[in-house]
Amino acid sequence: MAEEKTEQAENQTEEKATSQEETADSQAADAAEKPADAADEKKEQTPEERIAALEKENADLKDQLLRRAADFDNYRKRMMKEKQDTYDYANAGLLGDLLDSLDNFDRTIDAAKDAKDAKSIADGIKMINKNLVKMLEDKYGLTGYGKEGDEFNPDEHEAIGRMEDEKAKKETLAQVYLKGYKLKDKVIRHAKVMVKVPKQ
Domain that residue 195 falls in: 142-200
CATH of the domain at 147: 2.30.22.10
Q: Render pLDDT for 158-169 as a digit per residue (tens, 0 to 9).
A: 999 999 888 888
pLDDT, tens digit (0-9, with 9 covering 90-100), for 140-152: 999 999 999 899 9
Among candidate residues 186, 192, 196, 182, the one with its CA nearest the CA of residue 151? 196
Query: Considering its fold, how many domains does the chain have in total?
Result: 2
Whether 133 and 148 share a structural domain: no
For residue 110, which amino acid is it?
A: D
Residues 114 and 129 reside in one and the same domain = yes
Judgement on whether residues 158 and 196 belong to the same structural domain of the protein: yes
| pLDDT tens digits, one per residue of 9-57 | 555 555 555 555 555 555 555 544 554 444 455 578 898 899 999 999 9
The H or E element that residue 195 is part of is: strand 191-198
Q: Is the pTM of this model over 0.75?
A: no
- The reply to whether 135 and 153 lie within a common domain is no
> What 3-state DSSP class applies to 180?
strand
